[in-house]
Structure 1
Amino acid sequence: MQSIFWSVEEVALRAKQFYENDIRQHVEYGDNIGKMIVIDAETGEYGIDPTGVETALKLKHQKPNARLFTIRIGYDVAVSFGGAMERIAK
């Protein structure tokens, strides 16, 4: 499946499904609360760091067309990163 054609809403939905169904029980504890988790909406691969930036850059380096979605662990706040990292600077 080519994630490049997904809308922002589809990326968010898939990433949230990965988080709720597979990831949440492994990450929502102790020092992780308040950190950012970046999820590849196609594969479910994820990483955690305080701001999400390091993980997003690492995942984009591994797979430049990855559709990433960021969630603050333990909160209902999220940000989507599109196909080009320059877009987040707006």
Structure 2
Amino acid sequence: MQAIFWTVEEVAQRARQFYENGIRQEVEHGDNIGMMIVIDAETGEYGIDKSGVESGLMLKQKNPNARLFTMRIGYDVAFSFGASMERIVE
């Protein structure tokens, strides 16, 4: 299989399109909220687990050249970095 060269933004855009155009309806419910979803931006195949690591490894095992995008189900962001407001105010 020929390698596809995409920017980080292209990978994110394609994965989000897969998510919005079908995956969301399948996964955003009950116990999946807060879990991590890893999406192959080329195929739309995905996996869900607590950290995203197992799903990422599974998808890479199927396709070593996979362009993967990870996000938290039911949230706009997967991770947050920085100080809390309480620490800034103190």
Report the TM-score range of the alignment, normalised by the length of the smaller protein. 0.7 to 0.9
Question: Which runs of no fewer than 5 residues in structure 2 stay unpaired?
Answer: 80-90
Match of 2:53 in 1: 53
Tell me the amino acid that sits aligned with residue 56 of structure 2. Answer: A
**Pairwise mapping of residues 1-16 of structure 1 onto structure 2 (< 5 A)?**
4-16=4-16
**TM-score calculated relative to the size of structure 1:** 0.82
Distance in structure 1 (CA, Å) of the matches to 2:26 and 2:6 = 27
Question: What is the match of residue 71 of structure 1?
Answer: 71
Task: Give the drift of 1:3.
Answer: 5.8
User: How many pairs does the alignment contain?
Assistant: 79
RMSD: 1.7
The 5-angstrom pairing of residues 18-37 of structure 1 reads: 18-37=18-37
CA contact (8 A) 1:34 1:74 kept: yes
1:37–1:52 Cα contact (<8 Å) kept? yes
Pair member with larger Rg = 2
Q: Normalised by the size of structure 2, how large is the TM-score?
A: 0.82
Deviations 1:9-49 (CA, angstroms, capped at 9, x unpaired) = 00000000000011000100000000000000000000100
Q: Report the structure, 1 or 2, having the larger strand content.
A: 1
Percent identity (aligned): 77
Which secondary structure does the structure 2 equivalent of 1:5 belong to?
Answer: coil
Q: Judging changes above 3 Å, is the alpha-carbon distance between structure 1 residues 3 and 78 closer, same or farther for their aligned structure 2 residues?
A: farther
**Residue 85 (structure 2) aligns with:** none
